[in-house]
Chain A
Amino acid sequence: MLKKRIIPCLDIKDGRTVKGINFVAIRDAGDPIELAKNYVKQGADELVFLDITATVENRKTLVNLVNEIAKEINIPFTVGGGINSVDDVEKLIIAGADKVSINSSAVKRPELITEIANQFGSQCVVVAIDTKFENNEWKVFTHGGRTITSLKTVEWAKQIEQLGAGEILLTSMNNDGTKAGFAIDITNKVSSAVNIPVIASGGAGSKDHFKRVFEMTKATGALAASVFHYGEIPIPELKNYLKEQKIAIR
């Protein structure tokens, strides 16, 4: 049986790992390569690295970091942040990234999804959606959650699939950083509306939150950062718990 994936996310700024609390405050949580290797040892199923500064001068640092990560780790990993063109993707794929994650640039120019899929295959295109429930509907936000768009989340998810995305990384901004649990409602709506894998993100605070998102939605992966970084939920303990709860886990 296909296993549900537990995915630690490492936010990268200037080659270091950080985690934004509600996308604003930032705390330092260490060296990305050491952290990544440690996660692999603990049984993480995949890793996501998000470059949250992503300025031009930092791109080279990121590509070098991706190169080092690819040498060290033996599980798949995704790189995101500041990707605007097929050219940006090519650099990261050549450096060893298995997938790239795009967000604001896909909203700005949806054809980018198709361009990347045509050149490197759908399997390497993850489209990240930052979503927030406001005025009674789930809307799409860009630029690290700072800019609201006119897109409705479920409609955008369907469009992403049509354009050739291989996977959706869905972050609820209402839940992110709260440790109150994943956004079951929108994760369920999006994962039922599309036929590509959906990763739930934002709000993980307990082992039970992971169980709930896997039982109550069609998400095939769950992503978290701080609960893993600060050792609040050790991955082996989480995976054992989920296995006991009869969730398919590696």
Chain B
Amino acid sequence: MIAIIKYNAGNISSVQNALTRLGCQSIITDEPKEILTADKVIFPGVGEASSAMKYLIEKKLDKTILAIKNPMLGICLGQQLMCEFSEEGNTKCLGIYNTLVKKFPNTDIVPHMGWNSFTKVDGTLFKNLKTIDNVYFVHSYYAEINEQTTAVCDYIQPFSAAMQKDNFYATQFHPEKSADIGEQILKNFIEI
């Protein structure tokens, strides 16, 4: 059973739909017990960092997330909230990854919206994948690269397209919206 964390950052159903297409059972929940006992957890997110973080703290979901021992996958805003700090609303985040989330400079179109490939892919999530594979991004903020970065995408500047620390995995792009490549990444996560 995969638990999808329910909070105020929209479009959670698309993650569940993607898991259903892969034949995977999932529940959308904000119950600590269900989250902590699930085989896998997905921490999705489309929205704004400060209001999302405020909600997580109010519901004590911040502590629950940090207590997760099974593999967890953060997606998009999920990855950003797993970092130290976000410039979006000057938000102190969960601090799983010791990196900062910054706004893209306006030297090219922002948001970074559409299909992009990688300059580096590494680690479990990218088994059977190559740097030329395309995934779907939509974001105006990015996580800086550090030693926890497992995939790099270059738009305006190189940034963390995926990260990992221990059981905490994350992607800036949306695997649930990235056609066959995205399905492969979700499968790789499910098979951990």
Interface residues of A (CB under 8 A from B): 1-5, 40, 45, 70-71, 74-76, 93-96, 98, 120-124, 166-167, 195-197, 218, 220-221, 250
Contacts and interface: CB of A to CB of B under 8 A. Distances in A.
A195 B110 contact: yes
Given A96-B17, A122-B140, A166 B109 contact: no
Contacts of B48: 121
Interface in B80-137: 106, 108-117, 134, 136
Given A93-B10, A98-B177, A121-B47, A75 B113 contact: no
Contacts of A94: 13
Contacts of A250: 115, 134
Contact of B14 (A4, A98, A167): A98
Contacts of B36: none
A220 to B, nearest CB: 6
Contacts, number: 91
Contacts of A93: 10-11
Contacts of B111: 122-123, 166, 196-197
B34 interface: no
Interface stretch (B63-71, B142-150, B164-172, B178-186): B178-186
B27 interface: no
A3 B134 contact: yes
Nearest to B18: A74
Nearest to B117: A1
Given A123-B46, A195-B109, A220-B109, A74 B114 contact: no
Contact of B114 (A2, A71, A195): A2
* Residue of B47, B114, B117, B174 with most partner-chain A CB within 10 A: B114
Contacts of B117: 1
Given A94-B13, A250-B134, A220 B46 contact: no
A196 B140 CA distance: 10
Contact of B106 (A2, A4, A195): A195
B177 A71 contact: no
A95 to B, nearest CB: 8
Contacts of B183: 74
B109 A196 contact: yes
B138 interface: yes
28 contacts: A1-B117, A2-B114, A2-B155, A3-B114, A3-B134, A4-B114, A5-B114, A5-B115, A71-B20, A74-B177, A74-B178, A75-B177, A75-B179, A96-B14, A98-B177, A120-B46, A121-B48, A122-B111, A122-B140, A124-B10, A124-B46, A166-B111, A166-B138, A195-B109, A197-B111, A218-B109, A220-B114, A250-B134
A70 B115 contact: no
A67 to B, nearest CB: 9
Contacts of B179: 40, 74-75
Looking at B21, B115, B136, B183, which has the most chain A CB atoms within 10 Å of its CB? B115
Contact of A70 (B10, B14, B182): B14
Contacts of B174: 76
